[in-house]
């Protein structure tokens, strides 16, 4: 089978990167050797424009964050340019509440999400980082340009971090319009730009912030994950601290859909390219932050019928599993494959849109992120 004709599950864990190869039937899986051993890898993503290129957001507790790239499906890796916050003397002051005259030094903390650009911009990628930072490269990561409208935003002094830090974890593009971008930050909410990232509009209308005195503020929501619908680029599915939502108007307003499930807390959501109008959420107990009711749960939202379907029986995978914001992914095959990685290192796979499930027989370190490199042929020139 040709290198690019395989399906790969790209996994970021607490202790490194793993690439799992499968066939189109998604029945057998081969786990490759670990890379970036000992580092927290928050996100691993393939660049579909350049088959074989894989990027990893590597966060080493000792030596700091690094962007790493492989050009051969993870066989070898190389550190490429890692963006930096401006040096202190060049940085505009962000003020400390207790001492408003003292600028707070804020080095780059963890890297959270790498988003390859549109096919029309084959050398562009975006990077989201802590503390609430957004970068763009137009030379495939040889250099990074800070998006000042976010990185130096005057209201940033009021932006609170979530438990995982001040992370910018979601970056979404619109294939119809390269000037349109969406981002999600904890615990700030979502924003949309219509001018390539020069200005941003908060897009959190209808999303509850149960942890604030004002339950429906303009910003301050703790968005956990957002995905777009493959068939309708105006539709988005959102897992927020305050529940599960859908928007049909480019995030102008959000409609809560999770209430029929009771506790609709969770961190992650995915929507498969082959099944438009469907979204998969991993429902967690809002207090314990693990799957409630003692078993793994994945729920399918059907946006046409506006109904939920529970995909796993209580006896399928009993236990209390944690699933983080990049912990669920879908492929672009038909029927859709669903992949769920847990904080205790299990990788669950359904090759048939949730009908049957298997546990990949390998114990990973705690999983931060799961993404899919779909089988492909060809690709853009570098």
CB of 93 to another protein, least distance (A): 13
- 244's tokens: 């599960």
Long-range own/partner contacts, residues 119-124 (CB < 8 A, 24 or more apart): 119/49, 119/175, 119/380, 120/178, 121/178, 122/49, 122/50, 122/380, 122/381, 122/382, 123/382
- Residue placing its CB nearer to another protein in the complex, 74 or 365: 365
Sheet holding 328-330, edge to edge: 328-330, 338-341, 347-350, 358-359
Q: Is 107 in the site for another protein (CB under 8 A)?
A: yes
Contact characters 32-51, another protein, x per CB under 8 A: ------x-------------
CB of 64 to another protein, least distance (A): 6
- Residue placing its CB nearer to another protein in the complex, 128 or 228: 128
- Contact (Cβ atoms closer than 8 angstroms) between residue 190 and residue 223: yes
Q: Is 81 in the site for another protein (CB under 8 A)?
A: no
Answer for which of 32, 48, 52, 64 binds another protein (CB under 8 A) is 64
Q: 70 forms bridges with which residues in the sheet?
A: 54
Query: Tokens 């029986």 sit at which residue?
Result: 313
Contact characters 108-127, another protein, x per CB under 8 A: x-------------------
Answer for which of 31, 80, 81, 84 binds another protein (CB under 8 A) is 84
Q: Is 82 in the site for another protein (CB under 8 A)?
A: yes
Looking at 80-88, 144-152, 252-260, 270-278, which segment touches another protein (CB under 8 A)?
80-88
Q: Is 63 in the site for another protein (CB under 8 A)?
A: yes
**Under rule CB under 8 A, how many of the chain's residues touch another protein?**
15
Q: Is 62 in the site for another protein (CB under 8 A)?
A: yes
- Residue placing its CB nearer to another protein in the complex, 105 or 262: 105
164 CB neighbour count, 10 Å cutoff: 18
- Residue placing its CB nearer to another protein in the complex, 88 or 358: 88
Q: Is 105 in the site for another protein (CB under 8 A)?
A: yes
Non-local CB neighbours of 112 within 8 Å, separated by 6+ positions: 42, 43, 57, 128, 129, 130, 167, 168, 169
CA distance linking residue 167 with residue 294, whole number of Å: 30
Backbone angles phi, psi at 155, to 5 degrees: -85, 5
- Positions touching another protein (CB under 8 A) are 38, 61-64, 79, 82, 84-85, 87-88, 105-108
């Amino acid at each position: 089978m040709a290198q690019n004709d395989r399906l790969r599950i790209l996994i970021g864990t607490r202790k490194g990167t793993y690439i799992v190869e499968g066939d189109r039937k998604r029945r057998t899986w081969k786990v490759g050797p670990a890379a970036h051993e000992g580092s927290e890898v928050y996100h691993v993503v393939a660049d579909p424009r350049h088959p074989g290129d894989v990027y990893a957001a590597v966060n080493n507790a000792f030596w700091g964050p690094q962007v790493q790239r492989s050009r051969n499906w993870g066989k070898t890796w190389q550190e490429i340019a890692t963006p930096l916050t401006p040096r202190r003397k060049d940085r505009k002051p962000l003020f400390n509440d207790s001492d408003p005259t003292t600028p707070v030094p804020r080095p780059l903390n963890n890297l959270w999400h790498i988003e390859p650009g549109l096919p029309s911009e084959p050398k562009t990628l975006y990077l989201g980082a802590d503390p609430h930072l957004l970068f763009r490269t137009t030379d495939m990561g040889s250099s990074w340009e800070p998006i000042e409208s976010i990185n130096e935003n005057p209201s940033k002094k009021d932006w609170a971090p979530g438990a995982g830090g001040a992370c910018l974890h979601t970056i979404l593009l619109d294939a119809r319009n390269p000037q349109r971008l969406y981002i999600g930050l904890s615990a700030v909410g979502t924003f949309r730009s219509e001018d390539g990232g020069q200005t941003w509009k908060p897009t959190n209308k209808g999303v509850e912030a149960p942890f604030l005195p004002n339950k429906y503020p303009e910003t301050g929501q703790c968005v956990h994950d957002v995905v777009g619908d493959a068939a309708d680029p105006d539709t988005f599915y959102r897992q927020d601290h305050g529940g599960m939502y859908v928007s049909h108007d480019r995030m102008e307003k959000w409609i809560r859909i999770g209430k029929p499930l009771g506790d609709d807390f969770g961190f992650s959501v995915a929507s498969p390219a082959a099944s438009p109008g469907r979204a998969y959420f991993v429902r967690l107990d809002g207090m314990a932050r693990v799957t409630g009711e003692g078993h793994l749960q994945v729920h399918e939202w059907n946006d046409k019928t506006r109904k939920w379907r529970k995909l796993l029986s209580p006896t399928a995978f009993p236990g209390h599993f944690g699933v983080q914001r990049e912990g669920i992914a879908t492929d672009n095959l038909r029927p859709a494959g669903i992949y769920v990685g847990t904080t205790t290192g299990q990788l669950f796979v359904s090759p048939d849109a949730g009908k049957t499930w298997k546990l990949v027989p390998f114990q990973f370190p705690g999983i931060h992120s799961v993404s899919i490199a779909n089988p492909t042929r060809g690709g853009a020139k570098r």
